[in-house]
Amino acid sequence: MEPIDQVIYIGFNQNASCITLSTEKALDTGYDSSFRVIDTHPLKFCYQRIFPGSFSIVELLNRSNIIALVGGGTCLRYPSSKLIIWDDQKLRIISELNFRLEIKAVRLRRNRVVVVLEDKVYVFNLQDLKIIDVISTFHNPHGICCMSSDDMREVLACPSDKKGNALIKVYTEDKEIEIDAHETPLACAALNKDGTLLATASDKGTLVRIFDTETGDLLQELRRGIDRAEIYSLAFHPTSHWIACSSNTGTVHIYSIDPEIQNKKLALKFFKKMLPKYFESEWSYAKFKVKGAKTVCAFAGDELKLMILTDHAMFYEVDFTEGGQCVGEIAENLLDLELV
């Protein structure tokens, strides 16, 4: 029987122009470990790098040669507490950072490296890895942290040290604001491109809330569902007119946050005073079903198309122009892509 690649990590870069995919494969002689970089438009295999150990995090800086790596998986050669900065042009490790605890997430932007531990967020200058900031957070096992990708405005959001609260730091304005986002701990968060909007979901997983990062005001409340769910990812459209949410229910929801385009609401105005609050909620404009997989989503440029990755290395692209239940235009196993 042919050895099968096991997916250790899959994700998008900051503008979703590339996918990074880390795998390991059990052989008679040991393990074959590697990571791959794949273009999203058009969908094509770019390159693969083989290492003597597996990586649980592979974070690509835009479309550059700089990649942040953290060890993980069964073939564990590199500790999960070490950050490796790999230069793919020089084909070598150019720097390392060691921590006492496991690294939960890494975020990159052109001038920063952010390392997320279970109760701390460390912000470093990318060029020389000098420490810029250290943030104490509430228990953060999922490594919740996000950064704006806009060159002019540097914004970071993560859990504060209080349950359910989000901390926003605007480094370009030396400004900090704390938002009382949810009653229960944060499970997911995302910033739009320029960091003016923050989306959050709690571990309850029923609501997505949109906040103004300048004032901390709640702008919109979107309902994913009534039953509890684990939120896997949140993603803003580059225009900030749409947001997508994926969860363990298998449904990926797409919501309008443009006042000109209305989300769905239940037509029960006559009974409004007698029914629970969720009947007044904004429900998704469009949705797509992905069964039996952990998912992460991102929008395909300025088009009304959503890309979805699964932990089985499947790639889906969905046109949601018409709203309602969507059908995937593209469904591709990324492990089958070959260098062209």
Taking alpha carbons only, the member of 308, 219, 335 closest to residue 11 is: 308
pLDDT tens across the length of the chain (340 residues): 567 889 999 999 999 999 999 999 888 777 789 999 999 999 999 999 999 899 999 999 999 999 999 999 888 889 999 999 999 999 999 999 999 999 999 999 999 999 999 999 999 999 999 999 999 999 999 999 999 999 999 999 999 999 999 999 999 999 999 999 999 999 999 999 999 999 999 999 999 999 999 999 999 999 998 899 999 999 999 999 999 999 999 999 999 999 999 998 765 454 445 445 555 679 999 999 998 899 999 999 999 999 999 999 999 999 999 999 999 999 999 999 986 5
What does the DSSP assignment read for 72-126? -SSS--S-TTEEEEEETTTTEEEEEEE-SS---EEEEETTEEEEE-SSEEEEEET
User: CA-CA distances (angstroms) from residue 262 to 173, 196, 208, 268, 284?
Assistant: 34, 21, 16, 16, 9
Paired tokens of 250: 């298998």
User: What pTM does this model have?
Assistant: 0.94
Cα 50 to Cα 34: distance, rounded to the nearest angstrom: 4
Exposed (0-12), middle (13-18) or buried (19+): which is 54, by Cβ within 10 Å? buried
Tell me, what amino acid is at 166? A
* Burial letters 190-218, b for 16+ CB under 10 A, else e: bbbbebbbbbbbbbbbbbbbbbebeeeee
Q: Residue for token digits 């079903």? A: 289
139-339 — its CATH code? 2.130.10.10
Residues 6+ away with beta carbon under 8 Å from 174: none
Cα 98 to Cα 80: distance, rounded to the nearest angstrom: 9
Quote the Cα angle for 16-136-121, to 5°: 30
What residue spans in the chain does CATH classification 2.130.10.10 cover? 139-339
